[in-house]
Structure 1
Amino acid sequence: MTVQLFPHDHLDHLIREATRRDPRITHALAYGSFTQGAADRFSDLEYFLYLPDPTRLDVPAWVGGVLRDSPFRIRHFFVNDFGTPNFVLDGLLRPELHAETPDRLADLAGWPAAHADPTRMSVKDTDGRLAGALRRLGTRAQPDPAAEAQGILDRLLGWLVFGANVLARGERIRAHELLAWELGGAALERYARTTGPLDRLEIHYAEAWAWTAELAAALGLHVPPDLAHDLGRGLRR
């Protein structure tokens, strides 16, 4: 069941209608948790707007026009580290809008296919190219968690070693950041034991390694014995 999120739904409607009315925009799509049915009241709204000459679209002015007769007010505007315009509205609601040329529709072929919903993502499509790209994205084979488990563990071990070395070097803030894995459900309680003050990072890294070893054993995954020995010796609780 789709959860209705006001004011997110209201803002999404305004942006979609504005893109459809703007003759400069040939294609537009929404993406992220809002199109996946996984959004909550803290989620952002994210869009790609495609037009032949993106320099003709003054994004701050365009968004200001979209919101002119609405209950939303722009409280802050900034361009993020990736060059994307971002806005902060009342209630800390944050829309993000990319402006690209239509040839960048080809980039969709490299997007993650999991949870892609072409129907909810498509906002405007003047020639069918967006529909084709989203259709191909939606029909791509979904990842098999069982088949990917070993690869995920291998990458996790790499990050754990990276963080342990950073911690040993004395870069405690960077080491703290490297513990920030995204988890949900019951795993959050265990995750809480891997985080805490900077002066206890040795304990948290030891807990992170212990948890990783337990998960690997439970799933029948392979941890190189020499690596397990070195991590166990270097990360003692």
Structure 2
Amino acid sequence: MLPQDKLIHLIKEQCEKDRRISACMMYGSFTKGEGDQYSDVEFYLFLNDDEARDFKSSEWVKDIASYDLLFFNEYGTEVVVFSNLVRGEFHFLPESEMDMIKSFKDTGVFPDTDSMFIYDTTGRLKALLDALKGDGPERMTSHHVNFAFNNFVNAWLMGVNVLKRGEHARSLECLSHVQKYILQLMRIREKNTERWLNATKNLEHDLSENAYHAYVAITSRLDAAELYHAYSNALRAVEELIHVLGDQYPFDIDLVFTHKLRSHLNDLFSA
């Protein structure tokens, strides 16, 4: 048994014996058949409204298993690093906010909502999870293609400009955004958009060999010359995507504009 499976079982048991917990659901890799020894465990727990204010999540988690670190990340998610170094994410919310589960439908595909169900005393959780079944949001649209192309330009131009200024670390950070939008466009080209919001997940298996090598070419170390080549290769990848997707989707940029960007890149580094 994986340590994650043991934790999931312990969390279910803890919910069943704690009258303050109204319902609990799991999300993430273990609900998609992708969980392994490297995966996190991730939960939403809904509390009786009259118990929510005084609820001490740190004490509740400690009763499950020992941990070395517990904190809130930048998204307001409670992150736990258990003593066996399994990472957990917990959201403790009042029962009255359970309808927020409906918003998950816009984030992706949920192939097995039964595995998301952990515990419920309200009679509402299963129906909310069942509503998530079926196809996820449509990503292969003109809106999404145009959004990705335009945001690529924004990230690319900022990255090139700060690179010229000598802010190599900031340019490398911008490059990660460039990569994100190119990956989204690659996933549209290859009709593989299930992991739209986390475009690098399972990338080694989701993309074709050619697409993967094109992605490798837009990665870089913190080195000015490597960054220059990464931004140049990013333009090349986007020009190919414009050529392939142009017959299927309308979008704002064209090859004339990318040639202007390339001149801008080359002018910056011609000296």
In the superposition, the TM-score normalised over structure 2's length comes to: 0.73
Residues 50, 101 of structure 1: 8 Å contact kept: yes
- Paired residue for 1:78? 71
Residue 207 (structure 1) shift: 1.1
Residues 67, 80 of structure 2: 8 Å contact kept: yes
Residues 22, 121 of structure 2: 8 Å contact kept: yes
Residues 113, 137 of structure 1: 8 Å contact kept: no
RMSD: 2.6
In the superposition, the TM-score normalised over structure 1's length comes to: 0.82
Cα distance change on mapping 1:165 and 1:137 into 2, 3 Å: farther
For residue 130 of structure 1, the aligned residue among 111, 125, 131 is 125
Residue 80 (structure 1) shift: 1.5
Asked if residue 100 in structure 1 is aligned to residue 79 in structure 2, the reply is no
Q: Deviations over 1:13-70 (max 9, x none)?
A: 1112212221111111111222122233222111111111323321121111112xxx
Q: Structure 2 CA distance, aligned partners of 1:226 and 1:131?
A: 53
For residue 114 of structure 1, the aligned residue among 86, 108, 111 is 108
Q: Structure 1 CA distance, aligned partners of 2:170 and 2:103?
A: 30
* 1:27 aligned counterpart, secondary structure: strand
Q: Structure 2 CA distance, aligned partners of 1:38 and 1:10?
A: 16
Residues 209, 235 of structure 1: 8 Å contact kept: no
Q: Which amino acid aligns with 2:114?
A: T
Residues 109, 136 of structure 2: 8 Å contact kept: no
- Paired residue for 2:245? 219
Q: Structure 2 CA distance, aligned partners of 1:120 and 1:12?
A: 11
Residue 140 (structure 1) shift: 6.0
For residue 153 of structure 1, the aligned residue among 135, 138, 149 is 149
- Paired residue for 1:60? 58
Asked if residue 229 in structure 1 is aligned to residue 259 in structure 2, the reply is yes
- Paired residue for 1:70? none
Q: Structure 1 CA distance, aligned partners of 2:265 and 2:136?
A: 39
Which contiguous aligned blocks of 4+ residues in structure 1 show a shift greater than 6 angstroms?
none
Asked if residue 209 in structure 1 is aligned to residue 202 in structure 2, the reply is no
Cα distance change on mapping 1:165 and 1:37 into 2, 3 Å: farther
| Identity %, equivalent residues | 29
> Which 10-residue stretch deviates more, 156-165 or 39-48?
156-165
Structure 1 unaligned regions, length at least 5:
68-72
* 2:122 aligned counterpart, secondary structure: coil
Cα distance change on mapping 1:130 and 1:158 into 2, 3 Å: farther
Alignment length (residue pairs): 228
Q: Which amino acid aligns with 2:236?
A: A
Q: Which amino acid aligns with 1:45?
A: V
Q: Structure 1 CA distance, aligned partners of 2:160 and 2:109?
A: 34
Q: Structure 1 CA distance, aligned partners of 2:239 and 2:36?
A: 33
Cα distance change on mapping 1:161 and 1:41 into 2, 3 Å: farther
Q: Structure 2 CA distance, aligned partners of 1:168 and 1:103?
A: 52
Residues 239, 255 of structure 2: 8 Å contact kept: no
For residue 174 of structure 1, the aligned residue among 154, 170, 178 is 170
Cα distance change on mapping 1:74 and 1:228 into 2, 3 Å: same
Q: Which amino acid aligns with 1:135?
A: D
Residue 149 (structure 1) shift: 4.0
Q: Structure 2 CA distance, aligned partners of 1:209 and 1:165?
A: 15
Q: Structure 1 CA distance, aligned partners of 2:227 and 2:146?
A: 26
Q: Deviations over 1:119-172 (max 9, x none)?
A: 111212222322222222224654253664454334333433343344344432
Cα distance change on mapping 1:41 and 1:145 into 2, 3 Å: farther
